[in-house]
Amino acid sequence: MTTITTGDGTRIFFKDWGDKNAQPIVFSHGWPLSADAWDAQMVFFAREGFRTIAHDRRSHGRSDQVWDGNTMDQYADDLAELIETLDLHDVILVGHSTGGGEVTRYIGRHGTGRVAKIALIGAVPPLMLKTEANPGGLPIAAFDAIREGTYANRSQFFLDLTAPFYGFNREGKTINEGLRQEFWREGMMGGLKGQLDSIRAFSASDFHEDLARFDRPTLVIHGDDDQIVPIGASALETIKIVKDAVLKLYEGADHGLAQTHQDRFNADLLAFIRN
């Protein structure tokens, strides 16, 4: 397996496909998945002439399962170590859901010196948790339920989660059993402790200051029927903070739109990168 070892000794697994001399696209996955969630995009963009890279977040997938350090700051620092170890420049950063938070916190902590463009897909910024200052967020009870389900019966909870994640619970939607099983497989590869910690990281992290540091072309893609990261407290707020950010709204789309709307998503992301 291809890994880097971070400063605290954690091995981070990554895939590195395509022409190593081409412009790199670095993909950050959502919770509780792994780099495998981006396989179709990695093949598509490598065929379009890009270098495509995706890593398993610490405690997810094939990366080390660590007891401590499952925080958004550390995720961002791991991403920075990956980019610096591979000596990547002119990078296109693409983050889905929690990965969108990871990318955003990376900008906040490490700047945009190595970055060309940013794409946030169904991403959690600026803040998912409902607070007095963020009344449009989700109540803490929603995240407590995710914690309880993950801890009590992770295997069944992950299968059940695919229904709202991909919109399979909507009338007229065809259930893709293979996609459900793939979600389950990726989720079960990760470590329970890290996945539980990550729920706090993606729900309670405040990204307002990080978004304010964006100074590169930014694309925000979000489904208006996203049942996991509701659009009102996420994408619609992000575009108010990031100057000149472009919002592409997918009408009726779910949280996992990179899979359920794969061809459209790939084409829109390619157009943004090449524009």
Using alpha carbons, select from 191, 128, 185 the residue that is nearest to residue 158: 185
If phi > 0 it is left, if psi is from -120 to 50 it is alpha, else beta; for residue 227 that is: alpha
DSSP line for 128-156: -B--SS-TTSB-HHHHHHHHHHHHHHHHH
Other CB atoms within 10 A of residue 185 CB: 13
Cα angle at 108 between 116 and 60, to 5 degrees? 90
Looking at the annotation, which residues are catalytic? 97, 226, 255
Q: What DSSP character marks residue 100? A: H
Using alpha carbons, select from 3, 63, 274, 66 the residue that is nearest to residue 189: 63
